[in-house]
Structure 1
Amino acid sequence: MLPLLLQCNEQGIARAATIVREGGVIAYPTDTVYGLGCDPYNEDAVERVFRIKGREEGKAVPLLCASVKDAMRIAYMDERALVLARHFWPGALTILARLKDAKISSRIVKDGKVGVRVPNHEHALRLISLCNGVLVGTSANPSGMSPAVNAMQVMAMLNGLDAILDCGEANIGKASTVYDVEKGMIIREGAIAREELERCLMEYR
């Protein structure tokens, strides 16, 4: 069955949020690429995301948050993490930090850590806010393939979604940079260049 294609307006965003709260799985736009979203507290929904994406168990997925305050509910944000968050959020930096909220699905966590990010996308932020401030935000693509940057690519790549929120092209079209604050190292260089991140941390020191 084809997913419900939702328009990028208040009604469509509200419908997408309702689907998430009822345990569904959606695709939605972010500032980087399209993401797969579900309630991170719903084990069955998170399992569906892994199945739809073909993602191996043990590989964590990031969470998108509506604000720094929401991220702080999920993860232990130390001083360095907060410096990065205040500099780059909303934006394309995923911060990997120790899990704080033990009710989050264990599939989302790896080695006791969780990735959190506040996206720089008006419609994504509205959607996340309606989903209690946090939403699974793994890229919308089969594992190992390039992420989708629009709704039609999502529909062509993935099966089993309940809905797609169609807001046109993703802004950047490149995955976020991932930084592990505990290890003090970049795990994945993406939309934010290594030099830019290092410059921010040098100023912090």
Structure 2
Amino acid sequence: MLLKIYENNPNEKVIQQVVDVLKQGGVIIYPTDTVYGIGCDITHHKAIERVCEIRGLKVDKANLSFICYDLTDISQYTKPFDTSVFRLLKKALPGPFTFIFNASGQVPKLLSSKKKTVGIRVPANNIVREIVKQLGNPIVTASIRDEDDILEYSTDPELIHEKYENLVDIVIDGGYGDNIASTVVDLTDGGFEVLREGKGDLEQFL
């Protein structure tokens, strides 16, 4: 199913429709402030396995991130961090960053069996944030990659739908996506180490 949602004014009924599918263990594809993502409710283990299968990942080795609504959500899934980290997050989020934290006990066992860390995103995109807000849980997220060597990420929601319509429950058309992924920043040692340069420029917030 392809659902059109406008970022400036997300339709509440359509958002609720997506939330209902997620609550039943559905898998969706959705826009972020960077590339399109594929994901599910973090409480549904079978759905997480399905996301990994679609992306060709092994669950225990997959570097999946969570999309949270805001900073309040983040603190549930991470071990306590100091005020300098909090100040950075407050300035940088919502934004095109994935921050890697030490995981708290709230992270589902399925996702932390081998790793003690968790990637967290709060994208500057109203569609996915509204979904997370109404769902009441973060969404597990992985990027939609393209097999094309030149196009690393798919940007056209209609083409994404053509490719994935039989694999996922809903594809959200939130307009053209970006083809540059988020900047990944490791915060696990108390410093700020950029692991992958992406759309976000961390320097402006330090």
> Scaled by the length of structure 2, what TM-score is found?
0.84
Q: Which whole-Å CA distance do the structure 1 matches of 2:130 and 2:113 have between them?
A: 25
Alignment correspondent of 1:48: 50
SS in 1 for 2:185: strand
Q: CA RMSD in A?
A: 2.2
Alignment correspondent of 1:7: 4
Give structure 1 stretches of 5+ with no counterpart: none
Of the candidates 90, 108, 126, which is equivalent to residue 86 of structure 1? 90
Does the C-alpha gap of structure 1 residues 175 and 95 become closer, same or farther in structure 2, counting only changes over 3 Å?
same
Q: Which whole-Å CA distance do the structure 2 matches of 1:143 and 1:107 have between them?
A: 26
Q: Does the aligned pair in 2 maintain the 1:43–1:105 contact within 8 Å?
A: no
Q: In the TM superposition, what is the alpha-carbon distance from 1:173 to its structure 2 partner?
A: 3.3
Does the C-alpha gap of structure 1 residues 77 and 150 become closer, same or farther in structure 2, counting only changes over 3 Å?
farther
Counterpart mapping for 1:1-205 below 5 A: 4-8=1-5, 9-57=11-59, 58-79=61-82, 80-107=84-111, 111-141=115-145, 146-158=152-164, 159-170=166-177, 172-183=178-189, 184=191, 185-193=193-201, 197-198=202-203, 200-201=205-206
Does the C-alpha gap of structure 1 residues 12 and 157 become closer, same or farther in structure 2, counting only changes over 3 Å?
same
> Scaled by the length of structure 1, what TM-score is found?
0.85
Kindly provide the amino acid, as one letter, of the partner of residue 191 in structure 1: K
Give structure 2 stretches of 5+ with no counterpart: 6-10
Percent identity of equivalent pairs:
29
More moved, 78-87 vs 120-129: 78-87
